[in-house]
Amino acid sequence: MIDTIIFDFDGTLINTNDVIIAAWQHTYRKYLNCEKPVEHITKCFGEPLLITMAREFPGVEPEESAEVYRKHQRDRADELVKLFPGTVEMLKALKEKGFKIGIVTSRTGESTDFYLNKFGIADYFDGVVSCDDTDKHKPDPEPLLLGLKKLGAEKDSTLMIGDSPFDMKCANNAGVRTVLVDWRIAGSEEQLSRCRVDYFIKEPMELLEIAEKA
């Protein structure tokens, strides 16, 4: 019986896809004087930012390039960031049914809180694990295991909802069942084929039915 729902953040609850792509292109223009194919960027969705920065800009301190990227996101957040349709209704329904709800994200705690408060959904969540909370990151199971601990949840009674191979692999490695969202743009089919996906949803409210029957 499922009693706990743990969400990824970007691309799952909140549509940050456009602002993330714009921020990456801004950073590529600054340091490499070019832009990259969108498919190159989306393959990295879900990976901790400093790891991607170190790989993409090896001659630049990761914290420096990350701040360029983050500032561009902040500057364009009002214009480009939106809640996915049906997110609030889904969270409200899960809360009313008594599910514990958490977030496990590779985003920083500060920026996660910024968006949760911006969209007025912070109170729906019983616990948040950000990249600031662990030394290891998705697809390592440590962030999700910490999320389980924070929520007082068991693996067998939890679902992990995400949009990327990093989310699915993290849950696979932690022994938690997975739900992949159909509105994703993260990762490639080849990357996802290496993950175990237990359920798919096309609309947020479909999660309620899965959670009640799983």
Please state, as a whole number, how many other Cβ atoms lie within 10 Å of the Cβ of residue 59.
7
Q: Return the residue matching tokens 């709800």.
A: 101
CA–CA separation, 60 vs 56, rounded Å?
Answer: 9
CA–CA separation, 126 vs 124, rounded Å?
Answer: 7
Structure tokens given for 164? 């990327």
- Give the single-character DSSP code of 10: B
C-alpha atoms less than 13 angstroms from C-alpha of 201 in its C-beta half-sphere: 23
CA–CA distance from 151 to each of 3, 74, 99, 125 (Å)?
10, 30, 11, 10
Catalytic residue among 8, 126, 163, 167: 8
CA–CA distance from 75 to each of 40, 57, 167 (Å)?
23, 22, 27
Amino acid (1-letter code) at residue 3: D
Q: Return the residue matching tokens 């393959």.
A: 43
Residue pair 3/99 in contact (Cβ under 8 Å)? The answer is yes
- Give the single-character DSSP code of 123: G
Whether 75 is catalytic: no
What residues act catalytically? 8
